[in-house]
Amino acid sequence: MTNETSDLNRRGALRMIGMGAAAAAAAGSVGAASATAQSGAATSRPLAGKVAIVTGARANMGRAFSAALARMGADVVVHYHRASTRDEAEQSASLVRAAGQRAALVQGDLGDVKVVKAMFDAAEREFGGVDIVVNNAGAIIKKPMAEFTDEEFERLDAVNNRGLFYCLREAARRVRPGGRIINNGTSLLAGAAPGYAIYAGTKAPVEEYTRMLAKELGDKRITVNAIAPGPVNTPFFHSQENERSVAYAAGLSTEGRLGEVEDIVPLVEFLAKPDSQWTNGQTLWVNGGYLTR
Ligand SMILES: NC(=O)c1ccc[n+]([C@@H]2O[C@H](COP(=O)([O-])OP(=O)(O)OC[C@H]3O[C@@H](n4cnc5c(N)ncnc54)[C@H](OP(=O)(O)O)[C@@H]3O)[C@@H](O)[C@H]2O)c1
């Protein structure tokens, strides 16, 4: 496991800017112009001062979520799984920095509770706390249940279920009041498809954990929601499909196409924002009408 951080100089500069604004406000010297500027900043950077963790963020949805949260003003812990994908994770971190925010990289298997704790430790040590957790990591295998090996089941369960539990337990302990927990499920939770029993089955807890944890954390004004994308045009999906099955899946959406990563990002942006407070405990389907419930 590695744990790297950067932009420490920038952090110092930001802290100084923040202290300057606080001192001016205390002295009652914030004029109309700067008040307008501040409200503009709140609109364009609604997550200013917040810290996010995004799991499985070396590429694809996790990378896009990390970059989006940074554009909204959050510092981001970019988690990635295999050490061999470090360069990709670094590209995700670069997007966070390009948005003017700090990024930290944490690598490891989320089926290992020590990795999960280290990820939260990194957020607290480097950025001072955790406000937003996007549980995006997941694994997929499409094959009939009769052909699944114990090892394959364990590989999916380790991240889709057990790893999610570790992340949610840690989030429940450490996310600051007013925080946001967003879990990436699948639209298959509303459907049935041969070959996807173990994928959907190990992803099924996403919905139940979300509903129950939302009740448990409500007194801290922490919301817990799940997103349930339909087929998204990433290698994750294509690795399990063929030309015919891709065309079939695309044809089930109202636009006759697969989802793109950019179709999913706005929902995460919404759920992360302070004004999404009243949306809680929900699973939100984001699939171009592919499946509804
Ligand atoms: N693409 C779709 O059609 C689709 C549809 C609905 C929902 N989703 C969900 O969306 C999420 C992101 O999918 P994506 O399409 O953007 O593909 P992706 O980039 O491959 O995302 C999956 C991530 O999870 C990581 N991961 C796998 N096993 C892990 C483990 N044991 N510990 C820690 N991290 C692990 C992967 O890292 P490695 O690659 O290094 O293993 C990868 O970064 C997944 O949870 C998936 O279930 C995808």
Q: What does each of the 293 residues of the chain score in pLDDT, given as a tens digit? A: 444 443 333 333 333 223 233 333 333 333 334 444 455 556 789 999 999 999 999 999 999 999 999 999 999 999 999 999 999 999 999 999 999 999 999 999 999 999 999 999 999 999 999 999 999 999 999 999 999 999 999 999 999 999 999 999 999 999 999 999 999 999 999 999 999 999 999 999 999 999 999 999 999 999 999 999 999 999 999 999 999 999 999 999 999 999 999 999 999 999 999 999 999 999 999 999 999 88
Given the residues 80, 166, 196, 199, the one annotated as active site? 199
Assess whether 209 carries a catalytic annotation.
no
* Alpha helix ranges (H) inside the chain: 8-26, 32-44, 60-71, 86-98, 113-127, 150-157, 164-174, 197-203, 205-217, 235-238, 243-251, 261-272
Q: What is the CATH number of domain 3-286?
A: 3.40.50.720
Q: Which atom of ligand 1 is nearest to the CA of 109?
A: 32
Ligand 1 center from residue 146 Cα (angstroms): 24
| Block residue for tokens 């997929």 | 140
Q: Whose CA is nearest to atom 37 of ligand 1?
A: 81
